[in-house]
Every structure is written in structure tokens, then in C-alpha cells.
Structure 1
Amino acid sequence: MTHRTFEQNPRRWLTHCGIGLALLLSLSAPASADESGVSYWLPGRFSSLAATPQVPGWSMAEVYYHTSVSAFGTAAAAREIQIGRFPAAVNVNLNLHLNAQADLVLLNPTYTFATPVLGGQLAIGVTGLFGRASTSLDGTLTTAFGPLVTTRTGSISDSVTSVGDLYPQATLKWNAGVHNFMTYVTGDIPVGAYDPSRLSNLGIGHGAIDGGGGYTYFNPATGHEFSAVGGLTYNFKNQDTQYQNGIDFHVDWGASQFLSKQIFVGLVGYAYQQITDDSGQHPILGGFRSRVVGIGPQIGYLFPVGDMQGYLNLKGYGEFAAENRPAGWNTWLTFSISPMAPVSTVAPTRRMVTK
């Protein structure tokens, strides 16, 4: 079997393959954890080839994101507490079932600089989103009107179609052969649709800042790849509810095998763990630290679009080991377009043949 695809110009294909996947770092959307089951960080934002360099210039990624989750107990009660604004003395009933779905479109323009910064490649961008989220809460519902507290069995539901928060981001990446390293910083500008008395929101109601680092191993001669990115989120206080989420730790990873110069397949996964308690929460919730793990398949396809580079990726996650947050499944369909890497004018000096 001949591997001319990668060996003829490893740097070119390394750059091509990192373009679309690396753009995902700035994507964010309503996720489940922290206050009323909603966190800033969306697990799965990073995956394969996250730390590989890109081609300098403007690029654009568009993502269709779908999620479907459910929760019982405290994770469902937290949402009821939010919309009811219960006083601390109220004993909230935990016999509740929460279901939520979201269909979002995320747009991420990014500019990659040609001039090195600290010996690495700097890129900056911002992500905005538009979509629809719907939530229902079933079971024994507790309601409060001043000092009067009542309970009833039934359901309430809510949906919203609007725009979400803005998510600026910056990355700095370094390449050393098959090893690639990166650092990033991103955050939340809370300008999206948010109302603390509403079940469904597309904004989180508070600012946040997140930073971390990552590593990608990519061997262009064999097509083997593995990436992992870890980070921490600090959340600012929600001034509408006086609630502040704790610090979150997260790791996203991806592993893939290139079958040709255009197609790769593999696995993706994430682990999310809140490491400090929330503050301002109802006493029945305790520290309300959240946790979830997800894993699933992915497939990617690279193709030319005129004189630009096109990229399609489909990945999905099934969640398990959830605590204090809804869990379920989610899928990402990504299309990105970016500058085409220049064709090398140097003839290949060798050709690897694998038997």
C-alpha cells in the first residue's frame, strides 16, 4: 500500500486538515450544568487536529448543532428554582422530569496572522449563534407567590427562537514535526436572549472567561492522529439572580485515521467536571457540582471549493456518568471554508511504501 498522499507534502496536508476542526474551538451554545443546569462551556468544542496550524488569512465555519437531554431530581429542580425564584426556606419538591432540545446555527469568522507571535501562529475570531431551544418540566411542581407556597402535578413548557451570546476567542499554535501545541483563551459576552423567569434561553445571563492548552500528534506518513485539549472556566456572577457558577474543568479529545488525502474517520470524546461549588444556590442543591462524560464517532471530508479549501465534519456524542446536569446526546455538522495551502514547488525526495 502506497502512502503518497501524506508523504509528498506533509506540511501542506497537516495545514489543510487542521483548518475546519480547529475552528470549532470558538463554538459555544447552551449546555447543561451549573446554575439551573446551564454552563458556559459546551463539551465537544475541540476534537481532532485542534492544535495543528492553519493557513493565514480569513476563514469561516458554519455549524449546525442539535442536542436532546433530560434530567431528574436536583438537576430538574434547579430549573424550577430559577423560574420560581424560591426563598431559601422553601422545601422544593424533587419529583420532576426535565426534557430539553436545541437546534442552533453557529457562525465563526476567524483571521489567522502570517507574522509569528512568540514563535507561534496567532488566530482571533468570534462566534455568534441563532436558533431555537425548547424545554419542558413535568411532575410535582412547586410554585411560590410571596409567602404562599403550593404544589401541583402537571407540566410546564417554554421555547425561544432568537440569537445567543457572543464568544470571542484567540489561539496561539506551535508546530514541531509530528507534534503540535496550542494555548487558547475565550469567553462569553452576555448579549443573547436571556430571561431568568423563562425555562428556555439562548444566553446564560453572565460573563465567563475560559483558557487552557492542547496537544495534537499527527503523523502525515501514516495518517495517525490524536488530540487532547484541557481548560478551566471562571464564571462571573449573574446579576439578575445573584448566582455564581463554580469553576469548571474540561477535557476534549479526538483520535482519527486518514483513509486518503480527503477522508478520515475516528472517535471523539469529552469529560467535564465542576471543581468548586456554586454560590447563591438554593440550600437543597448543595454545592451543585456537575459532571458528564461523552463519546462518539466522527467522519471528515476535505475538498476544493474553487481556489479555497472546503471541509465537512460530522460527529456525535452519547453522554453518561452525568451528575447534577441533564444528559443525552448531541450532534455537530460543520462546514468550513478557508484559504488553500500553497502547492509545494519542491519535488518529493522519497516515497514511503508500506507492505
Structure 2
Amino acid sequence: MTRCIPERRSGPRLICSVIGTVMAMSAALSGAACADESGVSYWLPGRFSSLAATPGVPGWSMAEVYYHTSVSAFGAAAASREIQIGRFPAAVNVNLDLHLNAQADLVLLNPTYTFATPVLGGQLAIGVTGLFGRSAADLNGTLTTGFGPFATTRMGSIGDSVTSIGDLYPQVTLKWNQGVHNFMAYATGDIPVGAYDPNRLANLGIGHGAIDGGGGYTYFNPQAGHEFSAVAGFTYNFRNPDTQYRSGIDFHVDWGASQFLSKQLFVGLVGYAYQQITDDSGQHPILGGFRSRVVGVGPQIGYLFPVGDMQGYLNLKGYGEFAAENRPAGWNTWLTFSLSPMAPASTVTPTRRIVTK
């Protein structure tokens, strides 16, 4: 007798396609961002990591992320928050003997649609991220109170928090694959519709628009399970209409490296570097150009599993920050759960084998 036996897709290639979609979704996420005028960039370092440039599976996908951060700052980075809420005139000499503590717990949702029809020879995907959560901040030390050109100081603390929604973050990506080499171009930005008050220490919106774009590369050898990704970009910030403050242009690099231990499990490292390359404008003279910088690195682990006819994915990654300048620094963690279309069971033409009994 004879039977038609189709050749099935190999495990590593399945991992490449499914994880590529999942990591692209988590890469699109953005967190509680404040303008550089408060010491934190629109760009949330860590948005991209492993397999960021790998093309995914066409169709709708959804990623949910729980993001937690805990940071602190001293000197000018802390004083910038007091200047933001106090709006001191240039004549007021703000004291830099301050300590800032800030925390955020956020839930982010990112629906993404990946097109099957090639665009410029690559794979096009569009998505938007929204967030809900709580942000809190407090200042301790020598506080300044301004009265026109005069000021008084006192020792004490102030703080507040907000629980609400954040801004919206649309994103478009275009990806190309050439064997183990993958390339990506992306564009994203900020639609300032979230909770923002210039007189509040803690915010979930940034109070102004921003545009960010760049490109990335992923090396992925599915047979050996080796992977490395890097994505770089620039952020252009528009003027904040409430404070007349404009943050400078920012440059950032996110990277990830991983090793697959099986078809479902991988471990690795993630990191980022962020550097503001032009001065702010509209800032208090005591802050100078107020260019920000930070570097972060940490571990990651990911696991794949089926959810009905969809592909489920869990990822946990964390960053410890150092080399910070003019911005708070500390640590942050990302817990991602994603659902994406299952990769096709077969990607090659079935072959006929003759089986004799």
C-alpha cells in the first residue's frame, strides 16, 4: 500500500517564527514615561530585547505586560522634579540637597497586526500600546519655596501618587529575513492623552508629543540555539505646552542575547544604554544642559506553551541600572504574557513516500 506522509516543520524553525512574533510584541511596549525635564526620557529603556528583528506569524497578536520600577536620584536629577512643580524663575537659586524616590506598577496592553503581504520585500506590522497603573514619587531634603524673585528653604518632604491611564504609543515595524540574519526598521511615538499635571511629582503621561525611529538586527541560529539582537534609535521631543520646556534629542541602544536550552525554554542576558545628545531648552539655569544618561543590564528567561490553537509565551527579564547622570536610576522588571497565531505545521511542499507492506 502507499501513504502520503508530509514533512513537518522542524522545532527550531517553529521557535524562530513564534518567538519572533512574541518578542516583537513585547518590544513595542512603553512604560510610565516622563519628559527629560523631570529626569526621565520618553523612551523607556528595555523596550527591545532578544529576537526583536525576527519576522513573526501573520495575524492578530496580543501582549500583556506587568512592569515594575523602583528608582532614586540625588542632586540636580532630584531638584528637577521640584523645579517642575514649583516653576521657579531663573532668579531663584534652587537647593540641590534633595533625594528623590519613585516607584511605578503598570499593566500594558499591546494589540498588534502582522500583514501576510510583503511590503518592500519585508514583513509589515502595526500596533498600539496603552497602559494603566500607579506611579508614586517623593522628595526629601532641603526644599525651596519661591516668591517671585525671592526664595525660602526648609527641611522636609513632599510626595504624591496617581492611579490612572497613560499615553498611547503607536508603532510600525518592517522586518526582513536572510537566513540567520534579520533586519528591522521601526517608527513609534507618543500621543499625549494620559494623566499629566505639571504641578504633580508623579505622572503617567508626559504632557507632550514625541517621535522615535531607528533600526535593529538579530542573529539567530536555530540549529545551535544561539541568538543576539541590538536595536538603536533616536527620539525627537516636542515642546511641553504647559511648561514651555523642550527635552533634547535622545539616542538609545537595547540589546539581548539568549541560548535555547530546548524547543520551549531559553535563558540569557538583556541590556540597554541611553544617552541624551542635545541640550534641553526652557530649563532652569541651575540645571545647565541637563543631558541624561543611564546603562542597564540583567537576566532573562522565556518559555513557550500552547493555548488552544494559539501560541502562549511567558518572559521575565530584569535590569539593574548604573552610570546614571541627570535621571533617576535603580532597577526594573518586566513580566510578559503573550498570545500569537500558531506557526503553520508545514512550510514545505508535501512529498510522497512509498511504504511497502
Match of 1:79 in 2: 81
The structure having more radius of gyration, on CA atoms, is: 2
Partner-residue secondary structure (3-state), 1:78: helix
Q: CA deviation at 1:146?
A: 3.2
Distance 1:248 1:288 in 2: 12
1:81-134 superposed Cα distances (whole Å, 9 cap, x missing partner): 000000011100000000000000000000000000000000000000000000
CA contact (8 A) 2:311 2:339 kept: yes
Inter-partner Cα distance in structure 1 for 2:211 and 2:19: 28
- In structure 2, the residue matched to 1:328 is 330
| Equivalent residue for 1:301, pick from 300, 303, 321 | 303
How many residues end up aligned between the 2 structures? 344
- CA–CA distance in structure 1, aligned partners of residues 285 and 67 of structure 2: 34
Instruction: Assess if the C-alpha contact under 8 Å between 1:32 and 1:326 holds in 2.
Output: no
Query: Unaligned stretches of 5+ in structure 2?
Result: 1-7, 352-357
Corresponding position of 2:234: 232
The answer (yes or no) to whether the contact 2:24–2:53 under 8 Å persists in 1 is yes
Identity of counterpart residues, as a percentage?
84
> Matches of residues 1-355 of structure 1 in structure 2 within 5 Å?
8=10, 10-31=12-33, 34-344=36-346, 346=348
Query: Structure 1: any 5+ residue segments left out of the alignment?
Result: 1-5, 350-355
Question: Is the CA contact 2:11–2:263 (under 8 Å) kept in the aligned structure 1?
Answer: no
Q: Answer whether contact 1:37 1:324 (CA < 8 A) is retained.
A: yes
CA contact (8 A) 2:196 2:207 kept: yes
Q: Secondary structure at the match of 1:63?
A: strand
Q: Structure 1 141/46 Cα, relative in aligned 2: closer, same or farther at 3 Å?
A: same
Please report how far the alpha carbon of residue 10 of structure 1 lies from its aligned counterpart in structure 2 after TM superposition. Answer: 4.3
- C-alpha spacing 1:56/1:138, structure 2 compared with 1 (3 Å): same
For 1:292 and 1:69, the matched residues in 2 are separated by 12
Deviation at 1:346, TM superposition (A): 4.7
Matched residue of 1:251: which SS?
A: strand
Q: 4+ residue stretches of structure 1 with deviation over 2 A? A: 6-13, 30-33, 145-148, 345-349
AA aligned opposite 1:177: G
Superposed CA offset, 1:217-259 (max 9, x none): 0001000000000000000000100000000000000000000
Matches of 2:33 and 2:293 in 1, distance apart?
Answer: 12
- CA–CA distance in structure 2, aligned partners of residues 82 and 167 of structure 1: 24
Deviation (angstroms), 1:145: 3.1
RMSD of aligned alpha carbons: 1.6
Please state how far the C-alpha of 1:24 moved relative to its aligned partner.
2.1
Which secondary structure state, in structure 2, belongs to the residue aligned with residue 18 of structure 1? helix
Instruction: Please report how far the alpha carbon of residue 27 of structure 1 lies from its aligned counterpart in structure 2 after TM superposition.
Output: 1.2
Query: CA shift at 1:139, angstroms?
Result: 0.1
* Secondary structure class of the residue paired with 1:246: coil
Is the contact made by 1:313 and 1:333 (CA closer than 8 Å) also made in structure 2? Answer: yes
| Distance in structure 2 (CA, Å) of the matches to 1:50 and 1:313 | 14
- Is the Cα–Cα contact under 8 Å of residues 257 and 264 in structure 1 kept in the other structure? yes
Contact 1:9 1:348 in 2 (8 A): no
TM-score (norm 1): 0.94
Whether contact under 8 Å (2:69, 2:332) holds in the other structure is yes
